[in-house]
Amino acid sequence: MSGQIIPRGKNKWLIRVFLGRDDNGKKKYVSKMITGNKKDAQKQLNAMLREKDTGMLEEPAKMTINEYLDHWLETTAKGKVRSQTYESYKKELRLYIRPHLGEYKLSKLNALAIQTVYKQYQEERGLAPATIRRAHVIFSSAMTQAVKWGMISKNPCEHVDLPRKERKEMNVFTPEEAHIFLEAAVYDRWHALYVLLLTTGMRPGEAFGLKWGDIKDGKIHIQRTLIRRGAGWKLDEPKTSRSRRTIPLPETAVDVLKEHKLRQTEQRFKLGEDYHNHDFVFAVENGEPMNLSNLTNHSFKPLLKQAGLKNIRLYDLRHTCATLLLAAGENPKVVSERLGHESITLTLDTYSHVLPDMQKKAAEKLENMLFG
């Protein structure tokens, strides 16, 4: 018999699944106590038998964290998240979890061991709190699944104290700096791209994945993002469900895009069959998709230097858009929808540096309304 349900008192059951025999011929089992009715016990047994069929059900005492993470990444994470997120999970675990915790037995890992490693990372290696917290979220998710699978009784990550969040100063343009930047970019090939990033708050990957068919009636419809893997590339789903969104464009942005399309069409006819037409709004000379590194090094950074502006990232144009809108008194809900954030809470938390000025303006409005 592959599995057994053994009564152990009122509404208590011992679930046992036979794994085979060891080198000495001794039978091996995985056992789990549950509380509930007979139907609950049968569900647990069925789940454990399915895990046995997929190779996930092993004796916890023998399985290492490394072995478990391999299973979790392949059978759970891979099917739940975007490919780019999956690759980031693998990287975070490889850099920050596996080196010091990977050889622990799954059944023996505890909060103290995890806490000790995080402390060493912070004090000896100087890792940023955000880095540790990011790796911890992924690891905790994996351990939560181990609990659901009945491999461990509780998640050892739950009682780990994480380093305090450090709020970094947002590196954005002021309205004057944004104007100077756009003036400097007027004759740059990627002028339309910079206008779009500043006026829509799009992520660079979303702009690189934008196609002409996504622009209609003065609005852009964000439906995908461009992802690069070495020399290759692919189009993927937007970052979150709310990242699929429609953004109205300012009239100037629409005009700039029209001019950009004319120049792109001329380039396409000039190259003829050598032009690879993927319908991208922003593409390199032969129609292939943009490369963030090349754009940054050959256009964006030189423009900043030419205009005498501070050094920021291309992604910071997105932050600039949000900051300028909030500072101008735009409804945070509208800004959140423009950026494609999961919630307005994320927007307010990310751009909390703007809130004091907003509160000051609110006080001034009340002064005028109530006291004239």
What are the phi and psi torsion angles at 354 (to 5°)?
Answer: -85, -20
What confidence tens digit (pLDDT) does each residue in 134-163 have?
999 999 999 999 888 878 888 999 999 999
Measured at the CA of 337, the angle between CA 282 and CA 206, to 5 degrees, comes to 20
Task: Determine how β-strand 219-222 pairs with β-strand 245-248.
Answer: antiparallel
pLDDT at 13 over 60: yes
Question: The domain at 175-360 falls in which architecture?
Answer: Orthogonal Bundle (1.10)
What confidence tens digit (pLDDT) does each residue in 190-199 have?
999 999 999 9
Mean pLDDT of the chain: 89
* CA distance linking residue 185 with residue 215, whole number of Å: 22
pLDDT on residue 239: 77
Which range has the top average pLDDT, 69-78, 209-218, 344-353? 209-218
Which CATH number does 65-148 carry? 1.10.150.130
pTM passes above 0.75: no
Measured at the CA of 229, the angle between CA 225 and CA 234, to 5 degrees, comes to 40
Q: Which residue in this structure is represented by tokens 């739950």?
A: 158
Q: Which residues contact 296 (CB under 8 A, 6 or more apart)?
A: 313, 314
Strand order in the sheet with 219-222: 215-216, 219-222, 245-248
